[in-house]
Amino acid sequence: MSAFRSDITNGVAVITFDLPGSPVNTISTSVATEFGAVLDEAERNPSVRAMVLISGKRDSFVAGADIEQFGRLTSQAEAEAMSRQAQAMMDRVEGLLKPIVAAIHGACLGGGYELALACDWRVATDHDKTQIGLPEIQLGIIPGAGGTQRLPRLIGVRAALDLILAGKSERASKALRLGMVDELVPPSTLRATAIHAAQRLADRGASERRPGGGIAGALLDRTPIGRRIVYSRARQTVLKKTGGHYPAPLAALEVVQAGLEHGMPSGMREEHRRFGELAVGDVSRKLVQIFFATTALKKDDGVEGAAPADLPPVRRLGVIGAGFMGAAIAGTAALNARVEVRLKDAELERVGRGIKSAIRVLDDRFKRRRLSKPEHARLSQLVSGGTDWSGFRRADLIIEAVFEDLDVKRAVLAEVEQETSGHTVFASNTSTIPIADIAGESSRPEQVIGMHFFSPVEKMPLLEVIPHAGTSDESVVRAVRFGRRMGKTVIVVRDSPGFWVNRILLPYMNEAGVLLAEGVPVDLIDGVITRYGFPVGPVTLLDEVGLDVASKAGAVMHQHFGARLEPAPVLQRMLDDGRQGRKNRRGFYRYENGDKKGVDETVYKALGVQPLDDAAPTMVEQRLIYAMLNEAAMAAGEGVVRSARDGDIGAVFGIGFPPFRGGPLRQIDDLGPARVVEVLHGLEIAHGERFKPAAHLVEMAERGESFY
Ligand code: T1G
């Protein structure tokens, strides 16, 4: 079956790309070959004066190179050849004797946008689904089909680097402003506008593009000295952001630079050379695995076997508790799931404040131009609230975000069951209380479930959904699907203390506490962890979470798991000294005007320790990381997560486990379970029983097994 069909309208060949059997159009070796033949034919046909390239898929133009194909590449030479072939395909498009227009609706990413860049004109739809960009960096590679060369020439080096180095994609309106596309139209007129543009180009040729960027553009983008400044700044930003862990952004920068300073052929050569190097590198492999894991989770409803059929989607959400969490859940639900949300709290004043802060989530998107004014107005109206149960009877899902206390949560559930109809699913947003306990006295336990959101809800990408033993599949599917509509990556985890994310986080945080109590300096602890690749270190995290909250969570875990998870005494000492962390601007760090400053040197006195000046960073790193790896192995062995994939995605998205390492379970596989056991034994001897290797890990080592 062919991926392209062509029909001629008023002298314009409209080439429709519709890859059979695939949800999106991707570019592979066979597609490239076939496309070449289609172009040859259009070029030869005397009744064709110009061409339009459009997609036959509903909401995507071209999603780029086929990621599965390059995931299978085994050698650098093979990867380089693939990039060379893609470059040749784009060169062929650019070199066509007849004009060609890209008609873009939906995802136009990576190789898809590189294809559009090789066309003479780009028309895009002004639609939510249209996103345009070069996300390759996020897969650990660089654009490999001429994108590093054509984009800077089209929109200027600063704007191009901004996109390429972050692997960003833009909505259509921003893409137009940047000059990434030339025209914006509603979806209904895309085809006609593109045909019209193609005819115009055939009649009059392309008009000269005026370079943008004003004076700064003239000085920085278009002089060698100016560009040198741009490169050097970009380099600094990249190094700061990646900590040297991700090779692709620097490679992309060098390739852009090669092309602009030494000419396009030289840039193209560097592009395929570096692409080849990166595509078979370890970092790219890890990032591609994460891409596929995330994609697979989009379709995983969290139950064994098929999801119950004909499950109507949640149309109305109730949120109980209009505090910080409740409000953020309400705002994010209105923004992404676009459902009516009713907030309830005991006092009207709190309801008012909650609604306001829910709407702030929408305001923020509006300010960043991710939401139009009418959309903002419409979505704001979805959020309402009160002190009574009005509006809750019709709710399909109710999320409770009240005070973290079992009796309070049970009381709320009892009331909900009285006030609402039989079909409502009740989800508790808790981070520490077992869902089975909350459901203990419920009259509809099959409709009780946990939804553990992470703070700040509007930004954190992960959601843990926690069925207890009696939760029905139907409730699981409803919670998972709704979480996904809220924009979250959802993992279903077992109802056991700390669930997954906090479970593996806690021993690591505890170890940070033990290290602090030994006098290891705050900045050394955080420093080794950020160098390992986490976005923040454990001590910063303690300040962010709040020492009171951390201490409470620690106590719950200690109670369940015993001495192994005994909290270090530092938290109590901090609290005794009136330090709760960022929230009261007194923690391990200093806070001024809401900004985190350096380490608060007076903290050592509060902890009753002398900061050591000879702590060994490698040992510190090992103790922290292995505490987490060991717990991850243990929890995975208990079946807390449904798969290694879920466990790693939870760690990467929930706590910022370095993506280039793939996740804690992948990390254990890479190190080898036997080696991990050996290191843990050493730590156990040196530092105590808490490092005793998890039985599951020991078994894996003995049997030569791995998580994947
Ligand atoms: N390759 C292979 N499969 C892809 C794919 C791709 N590029 N993009 C999507 N899919 C599959 C996906 O696995 C899933 O499959 C289905 O399509 C629907 O996706 C030379 C080197 C396009 C915004 O990084 O961001 O170009 O599981 O569930 O939420 O420089 O997919 O259903 O069988 O995610 O509507 C750069 C990656 C490649 C884009 C759609 N491109 N894709 O989101 O659906 S590198 C990307 C996405 C490159 C050149 C290079 C999203 C999407 P299945 P979905 P969605």
pLDDT in tens, 484-528: 999 999 999 999 999 999 999 999 999 999 999 999 999 999 999
CA-proximal residue: ligand 1, atom 39 (nearest): 63
CA distances from 581 to 504, 571, 599, 600, 609 (A): 22, 10, 12, 11, 19
Burial class (CB in 10 A: 0-12, 13-18, 19+), 263: exposed
Residue 290: other Cβ atoms inside 10 A: 23
Task: Give every CB contact of residue 295 below 8 A, 6+ residues apart in sequence.
Answer: none
pLDDT at 37: 96
State the Cα–Cα distance between residues 453 and 591, nearest whole angstrom.
Answer: 26
Task: Give every CB contact of residue 384 below 8 A, 6+ residues apart in sequence.
Answer: 340, 341, 342, 343, 355, 391
* 143 C-beta closer than 6 A to ligand 1: yes
SS3 label, residue 73:
coil
Is 96:47 a contact under the CB 8 Å cutoff? no
- Quote the ligand 1 centre to 487 CA distance (angstroms): 17
Query: Does 456 sit behind a cis peptide bond, omega within 30 degrees of 0 on the bond before it?
Result: yes
17-68 pLDDT, tens digit each = 999 999 999 999 999 999 999 999 999 999 999 999 999 999 999 999 999 8
In CATH, the number for domain 501-568+610-703 is 1.10.1040.50
- Quote the ligand 1 centre to 449 CA distance (angstroms): 32
CATH class for the region spanning 316-492: alpha beta
Q: Which of 172, 29, 27 is nearest to 114 (CA)?
A: 27
Residue with tokens 């599949």: 473
Q: pTM of the prediction?
A: 0.93
Sheet holding 131-133, edge to edge: 60-62, 107-109, 131-133, 169-171
* 145 C-beta closer than 6 A to ligand 1: yes
Q: How big is the CA angle at 247 (ends 242 and 250), to the nearest 5 degrees?
A: 80
Which of 17, 24, 31 most suits a substitution to test ligand 1, by most atoms within 8 Å of the C-beta?
24
Task: Give every CB contact of residue 432 below 8 A, 6+ residues apart in sequence.
Answer: 404, 497, 498, 502, 552, 553, 556, 557
Phi, psi dihedral angles at 6 (to 5 degrees) = -135, 135
- Quote the ligand 1 centre to 60 CA distance (angstroms): 10
Is 105:123 a contact under the CB 8 Å cutoff? no
Task: Give every CB contact of residue 189 below 8 A, 6+ residues apart in sequence.
Answer: none
Task: Give every CB contact of residue 244 below 8 A, 6+ residues apart in sequence.
Answer: none
- Structural domain boundaries in the chain: 4-280, 316-492, 501-568+610-703
- Quote the ligand 1 centre to 63 CA distance (angstroms): 5
pLDDT at 272: 98
State the Cα–Cα distance between residues 266 and 263, nearest whole angstrom.
Answer: 6
Q: Return the ligand 1 atom nearest residue 275 CA.
A: 21
Residue with tokens 């254990």: 668
User: Right CATH number for 4-280 from 3.20.20.70, 3.50.50.60, 3.90.226.10, 3.40.630.10?
Assistant: 3.90.226.10
Q: Return the ligand 1 atom nearest residue 59 CA.
A: 35
For 51, half-sphere exposure in the C-beta direction (CA atoms, 13 angstrom radius) is 29
Residue 504: both structure tokens together:
């593996």
With a cut of 70, which residues of the chain have pLDDT below it? none
Options 183, 270, 404, 464, the catalytic residue: 464
Separate counts of helices (H) and strands (E) for the chain: 30, 20
Which of 70, 109, 271 most suits a substitution to test ligand 1, by most atoms within 8 Å of the C-beta?
109
State the Cα–Cα distance between residues 430 and 500, nearest whole angstrom.
Answer: 13
- Taking the CA atoms of residue 207, residue 160, residue 126 and residue 338 in that order, the dihedral angle to the nearest 10 degrees is 180
pLDDT at 217: 78
State the Cα–Cα distance between residues 531 and 539, nearest whole angstrom.
Answer: 14
- Quote the ligand 1 centre to 454 CA distance (angstroms): 26
Burial class (CB in 10 A: 0-12, 13-18, 19+), 553: buried
SS3 label, residue 13:
strand
Q: Return the ligand 1 atom nearest residue 139 CA.
A: 24
State the Cα–Cα distance between residues 314 and 318, nearest whole angstrom.
Answer: 11
* 250 C-beta closer than 6 A to ligand 1: no
Instruction: Based on the residue annotation, tell me whether 271 is a catalytic residue of this protein.
Output: no
Residue with tokens 């006092």: 347
CA distances from 207 to 196, 200, 204 (A): 15, 10, 8
Residue 177: both structure tokens together:
């402003």
Q: Which residues make beta-bridge pairs with 462?
A: 489
CA-proximal residue: ligand 1, atom 49 (nearest): 111
Is 91:267 a contact under the CB 8 Å cutoff? no
* 146 C-beta closer than 6 A to ligand 1: no
Is 114:97 a contact under the CB 8 Å cutoff? no
